[in-house]
Structures are given as structure tokens and as C-alpha cells.
A and B are shown apart, each in its own frame.
Chain A
Amino acid sequence: MITITDVHKQFNTLHVLKGISLSVEKGKVVVIIGPSGSGKTTLLRCLNALEVPTSGSVQIGDVKLDFSKKVERTSIPKLRKQTGMVFQNYNLFPHMTAVENVMEGPVTVKKVDKEKARAKAAALLTKVGLGDKLDHYPAQLSGGQQQRVGIARALAMDPQVMLFDEPTSALDPELVGEVLKVMKELAQEGMTMIVVTHEMGFAREVADEVIFMDQGVIVERDTPSHLFAKPREERTRQFLQHLK
């Protein structure tokens, strides 16, 4: 489903990703943890080419991009259409209502008929518990509600995989639960998900696999029960110790 091979990313002299290889099967939920600056965000952004890797290849579904060669400009939107991204700061479009935010991708990118797109957007918003907020602007919604609109907006493109970058870390503690609940439901429905998060409870409960990253490499990957109970690497142990 998703295969990344030897991905490197350098910002000028700063070597942020140092050869990441990873494959994720369809329907699996992978949680990425690691200290600040270890490259988690950069890795997610390389998956949809918001950040163009310096070298290595990324394959999602049947779209494969090899960044070691020259990448065709038209293939980048193709890769992006395979992925849905949920941002830490939601990044909703403030000039559009909730339902317009969710319709926007299908209408503009996929040229779906407006009425069809609206009906589907309304259904998705209902699914994330916002059926009564369709015509609200982002500024009229709480952080948790905005993030759920963000999830619905990503789902509207029927992505092969959903990428979450710390989706709850900008939220007040009492709003975290409503977003995690939506994510759990998605996982149960069989969505392939890659989630960067500090929510260890979510990782334990939902993840098929947890990946620990540090200084641009994958230090250790395992099932949550193994990784949390008895990590093999010293660095993982220290990081988990630190969290407690």
C-alpha cells in the first residue's frame, strides 16, 4: 500500500531525514513518536510531497515517485490525491463554511458536481458529529470542532491513506477526546492511517504498530504492547521514561 524507500531530506546543511524506509499495509494504523526535532513532521510531509525529499522514493497505491531522479510536475498532485492530511493547526479555509471547506477538494480538484459534493460533505460532517454545524464558519467553531471539519475535509477526497500531524496538540485537554474518538472510528472502518501524536493512550489502543524516530532515523518499530512494555533500544527506553 505505502512503501517509502531510503528517503533523505536535507534543508541546506541540516540533514533531517537520514534514510527512512518503511512500508505500511492497507488498513493498518501506524503511530510515529519521537522527540521534538526528530523529523516526524518532515517525514509525513515527504509522504505527500509538501516537502520534496532530497532522494529516495515514495509509493502510495499505484503512484510511485522516485525523488532521486527528476520528478514530473504533474505527478505530485497525483500523489497528493492519494493522501489526506490533517494539520496541527487545522488550516481550515476561513472564508468558507464547514460544508464548503469539505466540498472544496472534490469540486475544484475532482470536478465533482456541486450538489453531489455538498451532499457527500454533509454526510461526512454528520459522521464526525457536526451535522448541525454545516453552515458555520471556522471562526464560529471550537478547536475540536474545527479539527473534525479538517478530518472530514481530508476524507472527502477518498484518500488511500490519512496522515495526521499531532492533530490534538493544539487543543484544550477537554476537546482532545472528541477528535480521538473520530480517529478511532476511522481506524475501525479500516482506514490506513499514519499518525504523529503524543497521545500514548491512543497509540496503545488503536495502533497496529508504533515507530520511534530520533535524529532522522527509525530507531525501533514494534507493536504497541511490545514497544511500550519492553523496548529493545536504550534511546526508546529513555524517551518513554521521559514521557512519564
Chain B
Amino acid sequence: MVPSQKYQRNGLVQMSLSSLFENPERLNRWIDIAQSSFLPLLKGALLYSLTIAIASFFIGLIIAVLTALARLSGIKPLIAFARFYVSIIRGTPLLVQLFIIFYGLPSIGLMIDPIPSAIIGFSLSVGAYSSEVVRAAILSIHKGQWEAAYSMGMTYWQALRRVVLPQAARVSIPPLSNSFISLVKDTSLASVVLVPEMFRKAQEVVAATYEPLLVYAEAALIYWVICFILSIIQDRIENKLDRYV
């Protein structure tokens, strides 16, 4: 069974490549499909992939800061809770988490729509992974900064908000922007919970045209261009922040 399947797949690719150049009709068909699928794919990327990534990232960052503060609070139950959350998210696959949220929770009466399900899953993931970054960044701020803030009468929250977090943010921007770029790529997992983001769109086009190589490559190219632009923005931000600190 297995060898013959392999042979078939090889044959299929070879046929496509050779027939592509011998047969102008085939080439025209590829150009047609690439053209007609480009806008739907781009729409899926901008409207869903990027939007879900941005929303999840901001919610995730809030969770990350709260988790980091809980870890640093010195209050035993808070520390234990934060550790449990981080451990469970980091110790299980994101794909499985999304399945539990979307397909699992309805059996206890919790029906969550595709997009909110995806945002919940991704936010929890960002929250757990980034909490370690945020915690390290807060710890890296010299304790003299806290003392200077306290000595002018600031409360813990004032010192945190005005003095420590802005400096910790600068420290954590490089690692956090890397996780944002990873998140943009991870949104392709939302296809399994029926979010009409780019990768799901690509699967639909493939189902209709039977041109997997062409369409998935097109999707990959769009992910790559988006991530490339994001990494340029990341460089600019980092250069700007490096200036005075």
C-alpha cells in the first residue's frame, strides 16, 4: 500500500511540472486560480489572521502582566495559581487547547463561536508564554528605581505603572515582537475551529480546484510577506528604543 501511494504522489507532481510547460492551457489555469484566489486569501489574512493575532496579543499581554505580577507578589496561592496556569498551557499543544475550547466545552453547555474560541485559545497561550518574558523584564529593573519611586510617596501600583513597567516594556519588546510574529503564523491553526482565516480559505480553494501545490504555496507566500513586513517594523521600533536607554 505505502510504496504505491508514494509512487502516485510522485507521479502527480511530475505530471504537473512537465505538463505545465508542454501545455499552455495548464499554465493559464494556474494563473487563473492564483489570480482568483489571491483576493480571498488576502482578505482572510487581513480580516481574520492578522485581526485575531492583534486582538489575542493584546489580551494575552494583559494576562501576561497579571500573571507575572502574581508570580512576583509573594502571596502563596497567587503564585501557585500562576504557575499552574503557565504549566498547563506550556505543557499541552495549542491545537489540543483549541479543540477543547471549541469542540469540548459545548458538552458542558459552553458553546463558543469560532472567532471567540480562537481568540481565547491564542490569548491564553500568549499570556502564559509572555508572562515569563514580562517577569524577567520586571526583575531586570534595578531596585533603586522602585526605591526612588517609593521615596517620593508613590504606591506600589503607581511605581509599577509610571516607573517599572515602562522600562520593563522596553526590555521585553524584542522577545515579545518575536512572539507576535509566531502568533501570526499560529493563527493558521484557527482553521480547525472553522475560522475563515487565510489557511482555511486556501483549503477551500484546494477542495474546489485540486491544485494544492499552487494554492498552499500562495498562502505561504502571503504569510511570508506579512511576517517580513512585521520584522521590518520590529527593527524600526527597536532602533528607536535603543536611543536613550
Query: Is residue B167 contacting chain A, with contact meaning CB distance below 8 A?
Result: yes
Given contacts A89-B144, A94-B245, A140-B244, contact A50 B150 (CB under 8 A): yes
Given contacts A50-B147, A87-B144, A95-B170, contact A81 B244 (CB under 8 A): no
Q: Are A87 and B148 in contact (CB under 8 A)?
A: yes
- Cα separation A80 to B144 with both chains bound (whole Å): 15
- Convert B45-71 into 0s and 1s, putting 1 for each residue whose CB lies closer than 8 angstroms to a CB of A: 000000000000000000000000000
- Cα separation A93 to B170 with both chains bound (whole Å): 13
User: Interface of chain B, helix or strand or loop or mixed?
Assistant: helix
Q: Are A95 and B151 in contact (CB under 8 A)?
A: no
Give 21 CB contacts A-B under 8 Å.
Answer: A50-B147, A77-B153, A81-B153, A87-B148, A91-B147, A91-B148, A92-B148, A93-B145, A93-B149, A93-B163, A93-B167, A94-B167, A95-B166, A95-B244, A108-B158, A137-B244, A139-B245, A140-B244, A153-B152, A154-B151, A157-B153
The 7 closest A-B pairs by CB, nearest first: A105-B152, A91-B148, A81-B153, A91-B144, A85-B151, A137-B244, A80-B153
Q: How many residues on the A side are at the interface (Cβ–Cβ under 8 A)? A: 26
CB < 8 Å A-B pair total: 65
Report B-chain residues with C-beta under 8 Å of the C-beta of A153: 152
Q: Are B244 and A94 in contact (CB under 8 A)?
A: yes
- Convert B150-183 into 0s and 1s, putting 1 for each residue whose CB lies closer than 8 angstroms to a CB of A: 1111110010001100110010000000000000
Specify the chain B residue showing the minimal Cβ separation from A107.
B162
Report A-chain residues with C-beta under 8 Å of the C-beta of B149: 93
Report B-chain residues with C-beta under 8 Å of the C-beta of A108: 154, 158, 162
- Cα separation A80 to B158 with both chains bound (whole Å): 14
Given contacts A91-B144, A91-B145, A91-B147, contact A80 B244 (CB under 8 A): no
Report A-chain residues with C-beta under 8 Å of the C-beta of B244: 94-95, 137, 139-140
- Cα separation A105 to B142 with both chains bound (whole Å): 19
